Amino acid sequence: MLKTLITCEHGGNEIPPAHAGLFTDARELLQSHRGYDIGAQELLENLTDLADKTFYATTSRLLVELNRSLHHRNLFSEITRKLPQPEQEKILKEHYHPYRERVEELIHDLVMVGHQVLHVSVHSFTPVLDGEERQADIGLLYDPKRVGERNFCRDWKEAFREQQPELVVRFNYPYLGVSDGFPTYLRRKFTDRQYIGIELEVNQKFPLEGGEKWKQLQRSVKQSLKLVQAKYKTNGDND
Protein backbone atom coordinates (compact mmCIF):
# COMPACT_ATOMS: atom_id res chain seq x y z
CA MET A 1 0.00 0.00 0.00
CA LEU A 2 1.21 3.49 -0.86
CA LYS A 3 2.07 5.78 2.05
CA THR A 4 2.70 9.47 1.41
CA LEU A 5 5.37 11.51 3.17
CA ILE A 6 5.61 15.24 2.45
CA THR A 7 8.61 17.24 3.64
CA CYS A 8 9.89 20.79 3.42
CA GLU A 9 13.58 21.24 4.13
CA HIS A 10 13.67 25.02 3.59
CA GLY A 11 10.43 26.16 5.20
CA GLY A 12 11.75 29.14 7.13
CA ASN A 13 14.59 31.54 7.71
CA GLU A 14 14.92 31.29 11.49
CA ILE A 15 18.31 31.47 13.16
CA PRO A 16 18.74 29.92 16.63
CA PRO A 17 19.68 32.46 19.33
CA ALA A 18 23.07 30.80 19.83
CA HIS A 19 24.06 31.77 16.28
CA ALA A 20 22.12 35.02 15.83
CA GLY A 21 25.27 37.10 16.14
CA LEU A 22 26.63 35.61 12.93
CA PHE A 23 23.67 36.97 10.96
CA THR A 24 23.51 40.54 12.30
CA ASP A 25 24.42 41.93 8.88
CA ALA A 26 22.57 39.28 6.88
CA ARG A 27 18.93 40.19 7.47
CA GLU A 28 18.29 41.04 3.82
CA LEU A 29 19.92 37.79 2.74
CA LEU A 30 17.76 35.82 5.18
CA GLN A 31 14.64 37.35 3.64
CA SER A 32 15.69 36.39 0.12
CA HIS A 33 15.46 33.08 -1.75
CA ARG A 34 18.89 32.29 -0.34
CA GLY A 35 17.51 32.28 3.18
CA TYR A 36 14.54 29.97 2.58
CA ASP A 37 12.17 28.63 -0.06
CA ILE A 38 9.54 31.33 -0.30
CA GLY A 39 6.04 29.85 -0.23
CA ALA A 40 7.15 26.27 0.33
CA GLN A 41 6.00 26.01 3.94
CA GLU A 42 2.57 27.43 3.09
CA LEU A 43 2.23 24.93 0.26
CA LEU A 44 3.20 22.02 2.51
CA GLU A 45 0.56 23.10 5.03
CA ASN A 46 -2.02 23.09 2.25
CA LEU A 47 -1.05 19.52 1.33
CA THR A 48 -1.07 18.13 4.87
CA ASP A 49 -4.31 16.19 4.56
CA LEU A 50 -2.89 14.25 1.59
CA ALA A 51 0.03 13.01 3.68
CA ASP A 52 0.34 10.15 6.12
CA LYS A 53 3.12 12.19 7.73
CA THR A 54 4.80 15.56 7.21
CA PHE A 55 8.14 16.92 8.32
CA TYR A 56 9.38 20.46 7.92
CA ALA A 57 12.28 22.62 9.02
CA THR A 58 12.07 26.35 9.70
CA THR A 59 15.76 26.96 10.39
CA SER A 60 17.43 28.86 7.56
CA ARG A 61 19.43 26.93 5.01
CA LEU A 62 22.12 29.58 5.62
CA LEU A 63 22.84 27.92 8.96
CA VAL A 64 23.05 24.42 7.49
CA GLU A 65 21.67 23.01 4.27
CA LEU A 66 19.35 20.10 5.12
CA ASN A 67 18.98 19.15 1.46
CA ARG A 68 22.69 18.51 0.95
CA SER A 69 24.88 15.56 1.87
CA LEU A 70 27.64 15.89 4.45
CA HIS A 71 30.29 15.97 1.75
CA HIS A 72 28.65 18.75 -0.28
CA ARG A 73 30.59 22.02 -0.54
CA ASN A 74 27.44 24.02 0.21
CA LEU A 75 26.46 22.12 3.34
CA PHE A 76 27.44 25.28 5.20
CA SER A 77 26.89 28.76 3.79
CA GLU A 78 29.51 31.45 3.40
CA ILE A 79 28.46 32.65 6.86
CA THR A 80 28.91 29.34 8.70
CA ARG A 81 31.57 27.74 6.53
CA LYS A 82 34.42 29.34 8.46
CA LEU A 83 33.18 28.32 11.90
CA PRO A 84 35.51 26.05 13.89
CA GLN A 85 34.80 22.39 13.28
CA PRO A 86 33.41 21.79 16.80
CA GLU A 87 30.80 24.50 16.21
CA GLN A 88 29.87 23.03 12.84
CA GLU A 89 29.55 19.60 14.41
CA LYS A 90 27.24 21.07 17.04
CA ILE A 91 25.02 22.57 14.33
CA LEU A 92 24.88 19.22 12.57
CA LYS A 93 24.04 17.42 15.80
CA GLU A 94 21.27 19.85 16.76
CA HIS A 95 19.67 20.62 13.39
CA TYR A 96 20.86 18.44 10.50
CA HIS A 97 21.00 14.89 11.81
CA PRO A 98 17.76 14.92 13.86
CA TYR A 99 15.69 16.08 10.89
CA ARG A 100 17.12 13.71 8.31
CA GLU A 101 17.20 10.76 10.68
CA ARG A 102 13.52 11.14 11.57
CA VAL A 103 12.55 11.07 7.92
CA GLU A 104 14.79 8.13 7.05
CA GLU A 105 13.65 6.12 10.07
CA LEU A 106 9.98 6.59 9.17
CA ILE A 107 10.57 5.44 5.59
CA HIS A 108 12.51 2.43 6.88
CA ASP A 109 9.71 1.49 9.26
CA LEU A 110 7.07 1.76 6.54
CA VAL A 111 8.92 -0.25 3.90
CA MET A 112 9.85 -2.94 6.43
CA VAL A 113 6.15 -3.73 6.89
CA GLY A 114 5.53 -3.83 3.15
CA HIS A 115 4.49 -0.31 2.20
CA GLN A 116 5.74 1.69 -0.73
CA VAL A 117 6.57 5.29 0.24
CA LEU A 118 5.88 8.32 -1.91
CA HIS A 119 8.11 11.15 -0.68
CA VAL A 120 7.28 14.61 -2.01
CA SER A 121 9.92 17.15 -0.99
CA VAL A 122 8.43 20.65 -1.41
CA HIS A 123 10.68 23.44 -2.67
CA SER A 124 10.46 26.72 -4.56
CA PHE A 125 12.83 28.49 -6.94
CA THR A 126 13.57 32.11 -7.66
CA PRO A 127 12.03 33.35 -10.94
CA VAL A 128 15.29 34.92 -12.09
CA LEU A 129 18.78 33.64 -11.31
CA ASP A 130 21.95 35.39 -12.45
CA GLY A 131 19.91 37.53 -14.83
CA GLU A 132 18.22 34.55 -16.50
CA GLU A 133 14.48 34.05 -16.24
CA ARG A 134 13.46 30.50 -15.39
CA GLN A 135 11.11 29.02 -18.00
CA ALA A 136 8.74 26.98 -15.84
CA ASP A 137 5.94 27.31 -13.33
CA ILE A 138 6.40 23.84 -11.83
CA GLY A 139 9.39 21.50 -11.82
CA LEU A 140 9.14 17.79 -11.06
CA LEU A 141 12.57 16.41 -10.14
CA TYR A 142 13.25 12.66 -10.20
CA ASP A 143 15.74 10.00 -11.23
CA PRO A 144 14.96 8.94 -14.84
CA LYS A 145 16.51 5.51 -14.19
CA ARG A 146 13.88 4.71 -11.56
CA VAL A 147 10.73 3.50 -13.26
CA GLY A 148 8.45 4.32 -10.35
CA GLU A 149 9.58 7.94 -10.20
CA ARG A 150 9.49 8.38 -13.96
CA ASN A 151 5.95 7.02 -14.20
CA PHE A 152 4.70 9.01 -11.23
CA CYS A 153 6.01 12.30 -12.65
CA ARG A 154 4.55 11.51 -16.06
CA ASP A 155 1.15 10.95 -14.46
CA TRP A 156 1.48 14.02 -12.24
CA LYS A 157 2.27 16.26 -15.20
CA GLU A 158 -0.82 14.94 -16.98
CA ALA A 159 -2.90 15.63 -13.86
CA PHE A 160 -1.57 19.20 -13.79
CA ARG A 161 -2.66 19.59 -17.41
CA GLU A 162 -6.17 18.54 -16.44
CA GLN A 163 -6.29 20.97 -13.52
CA GLN A 164 -4.61 24.05 -14.99
CA PRO A 165 -3.59 23.61 -18.65
CA GLU A 166 -1.74 26.92 -18.89
CA LEU A 167 0.88 25.91 -16.32
CA VAL A 168 4.35 25.17 -17.68
CA VAL A 169 5.37 21.91 -15.99
CA ARG A 170 8.84 20.58 -16.73
CA PHE A 171 10.76 17.50 -15.73
CA ASN A 172 14.10 17.89 -13.93
CA TYR A 173 14.04 21.67 -14.17
CA PRO A 174 15.37 24.06 -12.96
CA TYR A 175 17.61 21.40 -11.37
CA LEU A 176 18.40 17.79 -12.15
CA GLY A 177 16.66 15.23 -9.99
CA VAL A 178 19.87 13.25 -9.66
CA SER A 179 21.85 16.18 -8.23
CA ASP A 180 22.79 15.99 -4.58
CA GLY A 181 19.69 16.23 -2.42
CA PHE A 182 17.79 14.41 0.30
CA PRO A 183 15.80 12.19 -2.12
CA THR A 184 19.03 11.36 -3.95
CA TYR A 185 20.51 10.14 -0.67
CA LEU A 186 17.38 8.16 0.19
CA ARG A 187 17.39 6.40 -3.18
CA ARG A 188 20.65 4.78 -2.17
CA LYS A 189 18.91 3.39 0.93
CA PHE A 190 15.70 2.09 -0.64
CA THR A 191 14.76 0.35 -3.88
CA ASP A 192 12.54 1.72 -6.62
CA ARG A 193 9.70 -0.49 -5.43
CA GLN A 194 10.10 0.75 -1.86
CA TYR A 195 10.63 4.45 -2.43
CA ILE A 196 9.41 7.09 -4.89
CA GLY A 197 11.25 10.34 -4.25
CA ILE A 198 10.03 13.49 -6.02
CA GLU A 199 11.18 17.05 -5.49
CA LEU A 200 8.37 19.49 -6.27
CA GLU A 201 9.72 22.87 -7.35
CA VAL A 202 7.33 25.83 -7.54
CA ASN A 203 8.20 29.17 -9.12
CA GLN A 204 8.37 31.82 -6.39
CA LYS A 205 6.63 34.33 -8.65
CA PHE A 206 3.35 32.82 -7.42
CA PRO A 207 3.81 33.27 -3.65
CA LEU A 208 5.56 36.61 -4.20
CA GLU A 209 2.57 37.90 -6.14
CA GLY A 210 0.10 36.22 -3.80
CA GLY A 211 -3.60 36.64 -4.40
CA GLU A 212 -5.78 34.39 -6.51
CA LYS A 213 -3.00 33.10 -8.78
CA TRP A 214 -1.10 31.71 -5.80
CA LYS A 215 -4.26 30.21 -4.33
CA GLN A 216 -5.14 28.59 -7.64
CA LEU A 217 -1.66 27.15 -8.04
CA GLN A 218 -1.90 25.59 -4.59
CA ARG A 219 -5.29 24.11 -5.49
CA SER A 220 -3.83 22.70 -8.70
CA VAL A 221 -0.89 21.12 -6.87
CA LYS A 222 -3.20 19.57 -4.31
CA GLN A 223 -5.84 18.28 -6.72
CA SER A 224 -3.31 16.92 -9.20
CA LEU A 225 -1.39 15.11 -6.47
CA LYS A 226 -4.64 13.72 -5.08
CA LEU A 227 -5.56 12.32 -8.49
CA VAL A 228 -2.24 10.55 -8.95
CA GLN A 229 -2.26 9.25 -5.38
CA ALA A 230 -5.66 7.68 -5.98
CA LYS A 231 -4.40 5.95 -9.10
CA TYR A 232 -1.38 4.49 -7.34
CA LYS A 233 -3.36 3.40 -4.33
CA THR A 234 -5.76 1.59 -6.65
CA ASN A 235 -3.24 0.06 -9.04
CA GLY A 236 -0.31 -0.64 -6.69
CA ASP A 237 3.17 0.65 -7.41
CA ASN A 238 2.67 0.96 -11.20
CA ASP A 239 6.05 -0.54 -12.07
All structural domains of the chain: 2-235 (3.40.630.40)
Q: How confident is the model at residue 233 (pLDDT cuts 50, 70, 90)?
A: confident
Question: For residue 236, what pLDDT band results from cuts at 50, 70 and 90?
Answer: low
For the packed helices 147-163 and 211-235, what is the interaxial angle rounded to 10 degrees?
A: 130
Residue 239 reports pLDDT greater than 80: no
Q: What's the pLDDT tens digit per position in 90-106?
A: 999 999 999 999 999 99
Residues 171-205 pLDDT 10s = 999 999 999 999 999 999 999 999 999 999 999 99
Mean pLDDT along residues 153-158:
98
Question: Model pTM?
Answer: 0.96
pLDDT in tens, 37-48: 999 999 999 999
pLDDT greater than 80 at residue 114? yes
Percent of residues, the chain, with pLDDT higher than 70: 98
